[in-house]
Amino acid sequence: MLKLLEPASDLFEGVRRGKDPECIHRMRVTCRRLRYAMAVFDDCFDRERYRSWAKAVHKMTRCLGLARDFDVRVSILDKLCRSLPNRTYLPGVRRVQLRVTQRRNRAQDGVIKAADKFARSYILVEMAFYLRRLKSRAKTRNNKNKAVLELQRQAGALVMKHLENIAVFKANIFDMDHSDELHRLRIAVRSMRYAAEIFAACYPSRLENEIRVLRKLQDMLGDIHDNITLLNYLAKFTGKEGLRTLDYYGSISPLRTLKPGITFLTRNRQEDCSQQLSRLAAYWTTLKNKSVWANMARTFQPVIPPPRAVIRRNLKVTEIQK
């Protein structure tokens, strides 16, 4: 957790300016990882302190999430505008780009407010002080081998629960009609990756292969999610823009020049999403044929059953990302 706090502090100014989408993305990921790690080790904090910090980090993550979603859409539209196959598509694509950019700019007001409130609370400073004190105590009290064994038991219980959540998904969900299932799978994979990264130092291999598989799977699911959310946005766009046009011009006739571009954009994203889903299905089949999930289960299988208190805590952690 200490390794997450310093980068988070350095990113605040970039987040406030809102000029670099990468700052928003990195801060959001850092907050997610921090919140997840806090849930894993919640018994290291007193209850009041944990609730206060977790609530503040969660609010910051949600605010950044909205801005990040629109940053991704702006990026997709920018690339498409530079390579349109027909100039008649440009007015429609440009109009969608304008509305998305306007919405992103409005979201930045909320980002600035949330970032300023978060900074004024000095939560990161308090957490750093508290964690350094815990680290100092742990060095003087714990036997290293015993600590590693206990962490491996905790990792096993947690990761096995994530594996169970992933195992329920079948290859037939890899189409756009199962967007909810794909979203849940993305959350399960992300949670398992975070758990693997937290406990990697406890294993000789540092779980490099496992983390690489989970990272690739998460990236593929993330790209699909970006396309699906943009398609959902486009499905409502024509109706909303028609009302704006009618209100401004007193007629929906100007909308005719936008429709070719909107239709092209929808078709383009559907085709791209279908290709991504096909690649994901093929990769999922490869993982199954190579017994990747079974091998991960063996890697994380606890040496001895963990205490019941650890199991109860880990069941709660699996819900933290939802």
In 250-305, which ranges are continuous DSSP H helix?
A: 259-289, 292-300
* Cβ–Cβ < 8 Å for 206, 178: no
Nearest-10 crossing angle of helices 21-40, 47-81: 150
- Per-residue pLDDT tens, the chain, 322 aa: give them: 888 888 788 888 899 998 899 999 999 999 999 999 999 988 888 888 899 999 999 999 999 999 999 999 999 999 999 989 999 999 999 999 999 999 999 999 999 999 999 888 888 889 999 888 888 877 666 566 677 777 888 888 888 889 888 988 887 788 888 999 999 999 999 999 999 998 888 888 889 999 999 999 999 999 999 999 999 999 999 999 999 988 988 888 889 999 999 999 999 999 999 999 999 999 999 999 999 999 998 888 765 544 544 444 554 554 555 4
Q: Which residue matches tokens 């105590």?
A: 137
Overall fold of domain 1-141: CHAD domain (1.40.20)
Question: How confident is the model at residue 315, as a pLDDT?
Answer: 47
Question: How confident is the model at residue 302, as a pLDDT?
Answer: 61
Q: What is the Cα 108 distance to its own chain's centre?
A: 19
Question: How confident is the model at residue 121, as a pLDDT?
Answer: 87
Question: How confident is the model at residue 303, as a pLDDT?
Answer: 55
CA distance 274 to 103: 27
End-to-end CA distance of the chain: 20
CA distance 73 to 232: 12
CA distance 139 to 141: 6
Question: How confident is the model at residue 265, as a pLDDT?
Answer: 96
CA distance 192 to 215: 10
- Our CA dihedral for 278, 279, 282, 287, rounded to 10 degrees, sits at -140
Question: How confident is the model at residue 133, as a pLDDT?
Answer: 87
Question: How confident is the model at residue 142, as a pLDDT?
Answer: 57
- By CB atoms closer than 10 A (0-12, 13-18, 19+), residue 84 is middle
